[in-house]
Homo-oligomer: A and B are copies of this chain.
Amino acid sequence: MIIVMKPDATREDVDQVLARLESIGSEAHVSVGQTHTVIGVIGDRDRIQQLPWEALSGVERAVPVLKPFKFVSRDFRDKDTVIEVRRARIGGGSFAVVAGPCAVESRDQLFRVAEAVQQAGAHILRGDAFKPRTSPYAFQGLGEKGLELLAEARDEFDMPFVAEVLDPRDVELVSSYADILRVGTRNMANFTLLTEVGKQSRPVQLKRGFTATVEEWLNAAEYIYKEGNHEIIMVERGIRTFETSTRNTLDISAVPVVKGLSHLPVLVDPSHSAGHRHLVAPLSRAAIAVGADGFMVDVHHAPDTALVDGAQALLPSEFAALMDEIRSLAAAMNLQI
């Protein structure tokens, strides 16, 4: 931590800061400049970061030197985390493809799509039984019935599946069916939910809040990790900006940024960031080229009848064509697919 004092800070102000630092056992280095005095602080990170430095008289600002997260950082663990779920593998030079319908609508719909994506080469099935919807009047998902159908599809097509969990009270239920849990973008900062999924023994996909900084996203992962669940898959899905030609702005740079700061694998969700079908293939190609560990796309056999997000779902034939492109790029990038 570096504490920058105001130009008009008094000697007493500086002494008060030093006394607070001493009281928590920290060491301080004072540099007196022409206009500002700067105090470098060394000591226990947590104790230092929790005190309200900027509330002290004479303090202009406190600049943290260390990141607020620990366990998910590369400083804590340098080696890439690799997650294996049945035959699927995420991280460590494998490129994982997650595909399926946005929401489970019926047995017929799910099985058609699951069969198509499995044949085209997807590794993990997606499909949600609980949907968070901006409008209370929109379709909210099939609930447990949806999970049952997903479990049936898993067995039929031999693919693990991932499903979103919205409510801390549903975590056990979803865990009892799904191979991978997902915390969605609207719940990235739902700390009670993060704590609950942190207690499960299932890998967790953690979508970036569409308004979260990379640092906040890694803090959310830290909430899960510290409860004991270390199998966390970060999913970049676009952030909210002023641009309106896409639903959100895919922050492709976040992939190398997170992989630089953390040992966790990172997927990209081009479907939900773009919101338009014709952008899904180019963004999926960008994802593999930028160094992501996989991507997750919506596929629907009849998007114009989809109950959720049909405008962004690929047709099975479009998904198969995308997989061909991805295989060429994976070869050029020396990735397993």
Contact = CB atoms under 8 A, between A and B. Distances in A.
Given A222-B135, A289-B329, A190 B191 contact: no
Interface stretch (A79-87, A151-159, A207-215): A207-215
Given A68-B134, A332-B328, A306 B189 contact: no
Number of chain A interface residues as a range: 35 or more
Contacts of A211: 209-211, 240, 242
Interface in A270-328: 273-274, 276-279, 282-283, 285-291, 303-311, 313, 328
A253 B226 CA distance: 35
Nearest to A253: B246
Contact of A55 (B36, B46, B216, B306): B306
Contacts of A35: 66, 75
B283 A313 contact: no
A20 B303 CA distance: 14
B36 A38 contact: no
A138 B329 CA distance: 42
A301 to B, nearest CB: 12
B134 A216 contact: yes
A260 interface: yes
Contact of A282 (B46, B168, B241, B291): B291
A256 B279 contact: yes
A63 B34 CA distance: 16
Residue of A213, A214, A277 contacting most chain B CB atoms (<10 Å): A213
Interface in A203-262: 209-211, 213-216, 219, 222-223, 226, 239-246, 249-257, 260
B253 A54 contact: no
A50 B138 contact: yes
A135 to B, nearest CB: 5
Contacts of A4: 2, 65
A42 interface: yes
Contacts of A290: 282-283, 285-286, 289
13 contacts: A46-B137, A54-B311, A56-B304, A68-B134, A68-B135, A167-B192, A243-B251, A249-B253, A250-B253, A252-B252, A286-B286, A289-B290, A289-B329
Given A2-B4, A52-B304, A250-B253, 15 more contacts: A2-B38, A16-B304, A33-B65, A52-B309, A52-B311, A54-B276, A69-B135, A134-B189, A169-B169, A186-B189, A214-B245, A243-B251, A246-B253, A282-B289, A289-B290
